[in-house]
Structure 1
Amino acid sequence: MSLEMKTTELEGSQSPENGFSTEASQELVYNLVQQNQQDVSEVPTDVDHRIPVPAYTSDTFFTTLYNLFKNLTSSRSQTKGEGEGPEVSGPISYYIYHSILVFLYLLMSVYRFYEYTYNRLKLRFLNLAYNPSRTPSLINSDVNKLPKIPYRLSAILNYKSEQEENGGVEGLCNDAAELTAWCLSSGIPNFTIYEYHGILKNHIPELRRSIHRKLVAYFGTSNVPTYQIKIPHLNLSYAGSYDGEYGDSEDKPDIEISLLSVVDGRPTIVELTKVMSQLSKNHELSDKDINMKFIDQELQQLVGPEPDLIVMFQPYLNLQGYPPWHTRLSEMYWEPDNDEVSYAVFLRALQKYSTCKVNIGR
């Protein structure tokens, strides 16, 4: 729909103060951005042509150690340039500095190996200590000890290849379903899943079946909680049912699951900026209406509310293009050297959040 056709929608919505109604302006901007987003294609989900996640490497610690050691011990070309010292002092100084560098690197490698081993053993111990055994009552008892829990929780998941353990689409859906069951058992009503490539958006049937099977395993066949899956980018929603089939329900679900990807981040902000600029240029949107509150309301309609806690199931801090507007006041948690979804990391994230104090303003 063109911008000229939208002009007539604002007729009769003018106010005596600035000539425009804030509600009508917000609705116009939201509809235009939503329509433009429908035309934006997702990141390719084909395994052979997928764009790699920024700053993410699948090399192991030992592979990286071997490659760096190989580069350090490689022979240096014996070229001599102008202004260099005698032929003997050049190789001697090189081997001295080279030996110092190798020693420092080996020292750091030993320390990193110790740190990696310690973190892996700690995670294994925590997984044994915090084992809910698919029992919601045990999870609920762990969470009830905390002074507060997040109302909205978001998790950043990574797609693994089919050859890896718990990899492929099935493994990704299984991780999402497991986290959904933990959120329900903890009393968290809003759950957001961020996956860089948007694979879950293209596999809704598999995700629904996986969630239904997981909820049956946790809560039993006679007491399966209801859920709703939302895709803000496409303005779609799927209601969960007791039998796992597709269907719509007017009742409020026990948990709302939102699916986000890289297109919900900066591309959405850029598209919103273009739409507001064009509307303001055509005098269809007043400059006085464009403020922080207006932008925040539009982004909440396009992407969703800001989460209270973001949990990253990866060995380092990497938001992978997560919507930047939704990370202003969010707490973030990740475990070093962890690359899998586990209940121990989930619970430790809740424990960390319960001790945090959010300061808004000064």
Structure 2
Amino acid sequence: MSIGNTDETVATDAIVPDSITATALPANGDGLVSRKPTARVQVVKPLEVSTDTAQKHPPNSLRNTGIVSVFFWLVDELRRKSTGSTSTINLFITYFNHAILLIIFFIISIYKNYLYVRRRIHLKFLNLTYFPNKSPHIIRDDVNKLSRIPKRVSCIVNFKDEEEENGGIDGLINDISELTAWSVSAGIQELSIYEYNGVINDYYLELNRYINKNLKNYFGTEYVPNISIKSPHSSKVLVNKPEKPIDLYVNLLSKVDGKPTIVELTKTISELAINRELSVKDITIDLINDELVELVGSEPDLMIIFNPNLDLQDYPPWHIRLTELYWEPDNKDITYAVFIRALQNYAKAKVNVGK
């Protein structure tokens, strides 16, 4: 390869990069071509990254959503979508659709807030009407008006945060002690307390001590009902006076007493059948029912859900086949008014047992 005496000449067999293209020129006597290299650089345009990464959600009609904030959000969406639109018809349709959505949203919001206020006022009125005043005689008078009462009652309660009113473990223990006193006064034989995480299982002694203290406030120090407290997945059973008959059995349930228990029972029965320790013909509905009753407890006649909506929270499904369910909408407090209204609803209910 030879190079001429000028910087503007390159050999004809020189390697030209992909991004450089040479313009062909007439060759001189030395077999060289004279040209000025023309560079063509391929410019790669960077990808445009959208800055609007926030996920859009439809307007929510729940009470905790501000009507004013949703209104401004819809107006902003309308302004953003209508920017650059040149069609008058499309712009009119967009405004019309958003106006319809706003009207529907406001109607639903007003209706839901009206129901919420009405229910809260109704609950306040019930709390004033039904007030036990820590007297078992008042509770007995309310129960005597009913045609029947349940023998077994189950209550779904929630563990509240420390910041909330009557929250924390102390609030939960106080609620359970009140439910125990109301159940004893009403003549209920068995009370099941279901808390999803089973937090109360670590406070057996505190719960037993507070229940006895609360029962003394109701019945006095001379006659204190005898209570038995136990948990299906624990060997702990607390009885104040073992030599005397039990007035009320209190069972503490949690999520492990539901579907996980059914799964473990299924595995056990399968292993027994494989090892020929149990015949397949002996595996019946009655056998499974007897085992689950022994592991968890009997099926309650009435379940009181102290939640603003119907939420069973993974309650043992086998034990609510014929259970009467009761809850008060927009209520999350454990009050005597809800308790006695549940008993009244049970007395009026008609249970049809099918085969």
Is this a same-fold pair by TM over 0.5? yes
| 2:131 paired with 1:131 | yes
Structure 1 position 163, deviation (Å): 0.5
Is 1:358 matched with 2:351? yes
2:166 corresponds to which residue?
166
Corresponding residue SS for 1:124 = helix
Contact 2:226–2:244 (Cα < 8 Å) also in 1:
no
User: What CA deviation, in whole Å up to 9, does each residue of 1:55-77 have, x standing for no partner?
Assistant: xxxxx964234565565444255
Deviation of 1:265 after TM superposition, in Å, equals 0.5
Q: Aligned in 2, Cα 1:233/1:90: closer, same or farther, shift over 3 Å?
A: farther
| 1:260 equivalent in structure 2 | 253
SS of the aligned residue for 1:166 comes to coil
Which of 49, 70, 77 aligns to 1:75? It is 77
The answer as to 2:294 corresponding to 1:318 is no
Residues paired across the two proteins, number: 293
1:152 & 1:70 partners in 2: Cα distance? 52
- Identify, as 1 or 2, the structure richer in helix: 1
Could you tell me whether the CA contact under 8 Å between 2:150 and 2:302 is conserved in 1? yes
**Post-superposition shift, 1:337?**
0.8
Gaps spanning 5+ residues in structure 2: where? Answer: 1-60
AA aligned to 1:146 is L
**Helix, strand or coil at the partner of 1:229:** strand
- CA distances 1:291-317 after superposition (whole Å, capped 9, x unpaired): 100000000011000000000111110
Where 1:238 maps in the other structure, the secondary structure is strand
CA contact (8 A) 2:120 2:330 kept: yes
Partner of 2:327: 334
Q: From the superposition, tell whether residues 70 and 215 of structure 1 become closer, same or farther in structure 2 (CA, over 3 Å).
A: farther
C-alpha distance in 2, partners of 1:346/1:219? 19
Q: Give 3-state SS (helix, strand or coil) of 2:208's partner.
A: helix
Q: Name 2:40's counterpart in structure 1.
A: none
Q: Tell me whether 1:234 sits opposite 2:234 in the alignment.
A: yes
Q: 1:68 to 1:292 in 2, by over 3 A?
A: farther
Q: Pairwise mapping of residues 79-90 of structure 1 onto structure 2 (< 5 A)? A: 87-90=87-90
**2:184 equivalent to 1:191:** no
Secondary structure, aligned partner of 1:154: strand
Alpha-carbon distance change, 171 to 74 in structure 1, aligned in 2, over 3 angstroms: farther
Change (3 A) 1:61 1:104: closer
- Aligned partner of 1:101 in structure 2 is 101
**TM-score, structure 1 normalization:** 0.77
Q: How far off its partner does 1:251 sit?
A: 3.0
| Alpha-carbon displacement from aligned partner over 1:89-141 (angstroms, at most 9, x marks no partner) | 33332221111111101001111111111100010011101111011001001
Name which structure has the greater RCO, CA cutoff 8 Å, separation 6+.
Answer: 1
Q: In the alignment, is residue 287 of structure 1 matched against residue 274 of structure 2?
A: no
Q: Which amino acid aligns with 1:258?
A: N
Q: Which of 337, 343, 348 is the matching residue for 2:336? A: 343
Q: Distance in 1 between matches of 2:306 and 2:193?
A: 12
Please name the residue that 1:64 is paired with. 65
CA RMSD in angstroms, aligned pairs only: 2.1
| Cα offset, 1:210, TM superposition | 1.6
What TM-score results when the alignment is normalised by the length of structure 2?
0.78
- Superposed CA deviations along residues 179-202 of structure 1, whole A, max 9, x for unmatched, are 000000000010000000101111
Instruction: Work out the CA distance in 2 between the residues paired with 1:64 and 1:335.
Output: 22
- What's the CA shift string for 1:211-245, capped at 9, x where partnerless? 1111011011111111000101224311135xxxx
Aligned letter for 2:344? Q
Report the AA paired with residue 207 of structure 1. L
Amino acid at match of 2:246: P
Does the aligned pair in 2 maintain the 1:314–1:339 contact within 8 Å?
yes
The corresponding residue for 1:15 is none
Residue identity over aligned pairs, in percent, reads: 47
